[in-house]
Amino acid sequence: MAKQKAAAKQKNMTVGIIGMGYVGLPLARAFCANGVKVLGFDINEERVANLNKGLTPIKSVTSAELREMIAGGLFRATAAMRELSKPDAILICVPTPLTENREPDMTYVEATCRTIAKYLRKDQLVVLESTTYPGTTRELMLPILEQSGLKAGRDFYLAYSPEREDPGNQHFETSTIAKVIGGINRKSLERAVDLYSRAIKTIVPVESCEVAEAAKILENSYRCVNIALVNELKQLFDRMGIDVWSVINAARTKPFGFQAFYPGPGLGGHCIPIDPFYLTWKARQYDMNTRFIELAGEINTQMPYYVINRLLKALSDRKKPLNGAKVLVLGLAYKKDIDDIRESPSVVLIELLKQHGAKVDYNDPYILRTHKQREHDLRMTSKPLSPAMLRTYDVVLIATDHSSYDYDMIVENAKLVLDTRNATANVKRNRHKIVKA
């Protein structure tokens, strides 16, 4: 009888997820796969209409999966925020970008909390999933939500559980990635653990929302610092005539004390280029400068400029100026085999190339046209890739190493290849055309 009651409770439960993007939609799929109804909120009405038609906006959740969720009566999208009173839990998956001064931009979180406060009812659970600085849940969200007249931890429950999505990772998905959860009090933690246990295999409860917030910042700062290290070493080893990728491959044979990180044209994605700066901003409130993290951020931010300098030299060695040169950028996504251009170094590279007077095109099999971003608006479309078109460019710049690219064909037909990802490592012919950057 107890099992039947629990099953009935889960069947009738509804989870509201605000933000139907790279975090919110995979999370919705995980809940629906376990029989939990999801109401997906998004302010983009066109996206909402497409979702309800079964058309996915992201590669990591297919349209077939989305249509199955809808057909099973488990998923519906809406732009009507008045429906926020319906779900038993509200999960917030909205952007947390940086301002022009590299300080946290909490506009989306604040606005979302104010909207929730208008419709918040007793016994609802509210969880922030967006990456942020330690203290956000208790110091920023709680006072706004309590403007509803309800008391956090008593009338409604509040927790933080950082998203850990890794687009393109074939080994893990939302349901198999351990979920760290911290609440503002014990009851909030218990409610959040109960919720996520319905969709996630491994739950990691921690003693506070601040610990959960700090854990996420630590994860991404760790990656940021180590990537900065290999990016700096790449520049040093280039001057020494040493291939940094060969060095890393040799070092990674050590079975302990070393984890391989790889250099690139810059950092991309919504997490690593941004999250560490949230911690540096918070640290200043405690009269401390996080010099290590800030230096790593500076190194990674400068990598696109290093790539352009390498390109300038490579063209100059061939008595060709960058001004007026035809450049084809391969890959717009921030990493291989995904359709995500958030903070992509490819976008910065294209803008820098244009500033130098180059005529720039791009190809990306996952991104057929660009869309307006917060700080960029390229207004470009992907050019079809063929041997004939490759021969029309002065240089092909590999910015993203998509698996679908035929690198032998690319090198065979290109006049010059600037490889920022070691994508041409296995190409045997015409290696004199390849310049590493």
Catalytic residues: 271
Torsion on CA atoms 258, 262, 268, 270, rounded to nearest 10: -20
Distance CA 399, CA 264 (A): 8
What is the residue-wise DSSP string for 271-313?
Answer: STTTHHHHHHHHHHTTT---HHHHHHHHHHHHHHHHHHHHHHH
Q: Hey, what are 9's tokens?
A: 């409770």
Distance CA 12, CA 394 (A): 61
Through-space distance between the first and last CA atoms of the chain, rounded to whole angstroms: 65
Q: Which long-range contacts (CB under 8 A, 24 or more apart) does 44-51 make?
A: 44/20, 44/79, 45/79, 47/20, 47/77, 48/20, 48/77, 48/78, 48/79, 51/20, 51/77
Distance CA 328, CA 399 (A): 10
